[in-house]
Amino acid sequence: MRSVSTEPHSRTRTLLGALSCALALTCSAHANAQVMRAHYLDVGQADCTLIEFPCGVILIDAGAEAGQEQHTVDLVSEFFDRRTDLGRTIDAVYITHAHIDHTRALRELASQFPIGAYIDNGRRGSRTGGGDPRWLVEQIDQGTISTVLRSIADDEIVDLDHRNGLTDDTIDPILCDDCDPQIRILAGGYSVDPGWGPGEFSNENNHSLVIRVDFGAASLLFTGDLEEHAIDTLVHYYEDVDTLDVDIYQVGHHGSHNGTTPSLMDAMTPHAAICSMGKWLSGRRPDGSAQPFTTYAYGHPRLSIIRMLEETIEGRRSRPIEILAANRPRKFEEYTVRRRVYATGWDGTVTVRATLDRRFRVTVESTRR
């Protein structure tokens, strides 16, 4: 991955090739001590975030555009080429919900990298994305792989005597010598309609796992493809506590018009927001029509959402960027983003570096228009 960064790092190994393996591992460990990096991978109209800790790594979602599964695998492999101390092992994979843009590369990843734990919402019936999760669960049940399975129902969360989210050693397998990141599930799959109505309850987006990751004082939030009804339920449940007050927000539902709400923004007050989606013209045919299930067909991200984010986020990007955002499907217009709002479709892979004392640095690939 080509990365533009203002911080020194140890990605270039060619000049150090003559050093011993032991020294290389010592340098790698030192460079990553007490630092977390969240890599929002550029996998097109899909979701896959790799979160790197000093002693381990997790994936939130395992998406890829159609036919691009190997690209997602390659990005993860390139990461392990740098972090040789991690033994090419993923400590946990979290699938927010079983739609294809969140699961398409799961089987390939599980076939190439050992996975310590697999966590999902237990709802794997989706025809468009349940195949890989079902395959993985079958492998676990048959003993073919030793991955630990954990499915999260929302009942487990609301039955708690607090409103800090659900965690255990499977949900949160990361414990480093000099820091202890915290991983919590704030919402899971619903067994009973909370009052949304049949159409909203049958919508798998609304059953997305909501995941909070804390690294010291720094915090990240992932809401999957949660839509307005489920977001309202989430915000209401965590009302009057600070569980949703986070620093880094992965923009819900790829920047869709119904994936972020004013009440959620008020609860979060984020330092920065990152949207995972494809380039604006992905799926556009020469005659102006759209291939289905593409960025162009969906109209991601919506201009209304970008403006909402910019109204809340105070900090600015290092330099503004000219982008194309959608008013509706297949209808985009030019817009200048000045605040700390990033997107894989404009910026390529976006990496957020965080320290335990809540200092952040955002770097992006050299993708400019």
Mean pLDDT, each 10-residue run in order, the chain (369 residues)? 35 34 41 87 97 98 95 98 98 98 98 98 91 97 97 97 97 97 98 96 97 98 98 98 98 97 96 97 93 94 98 95 96 97 97 98 72
Residue 87's contacts (CB-CB under 8 Å, 6 or more residues apart) are 114
Dihedral (Cα; 7, 12, 18, 22), 10-degree rounding: 60
Residue 134's contacts (CB-CB under 8 Å, 6 or more residues apart) are 124
Rounded-to-integer distance, Cα 293 and Cα 254, Å: 12
Q: What's the pLDDT at 5?
A: 36
Distance from the Cα of residue 227 to its chain's centroid: 16
Contact 268, 221 (CB under 8 A): yes
Rounded-to-integer distance, Cα 302 and Cα 299, Å: 6
Q: What's the pLDDT at 102?
A: 98
Classify burial at 126, counting beta carbons within 10 Å of its beta carbon; exposed 0-12, middle 13-18, buried 19 or more.
middle
SS3 percent helix, strand, coil of the chain, rounded to 5, is 30, 25, 45
Q: What's the pLDDT at 128?
A: 85
Q: What's the pLDDT at 127?
A: 83
Look at the block and give the residue holding tokens 């695998």: 73
Q: What's the pLDDT at 366?
A: 56
Look at the block and give the residue holding tokens 């965590």: 238
pTM across the whole model: 0.91
250's tokens:
């992965």
Rounded-to-integer distance, Cα 119 and Cα 278, Å: 25
311's torsion region: left (phi>0), alpha (psi -120 to 50) or beta? alpha
290's tokens:
């759209």
252's tokens:
């819900």
Q: What's the pLDDT at 6?
A: 36
Rounded-to-integer distance, Cα 220 and Cα 250, Å: 8
Strands, E, within 255-340: which ranges? 272-275, 316-328, 331-339
Look at the block and give the residue holding tokens 């003559």: 18
Total residues found in the chain within this entry:
369
23's tokens:
């020294």
Listed residue (50, 123, 135) closest to 90, CA to CA: 50
- The residues facing 220 across adjacent strands are 213, 248
Listed residue (191, 192, 255) closest to 223, CA to CA: 255
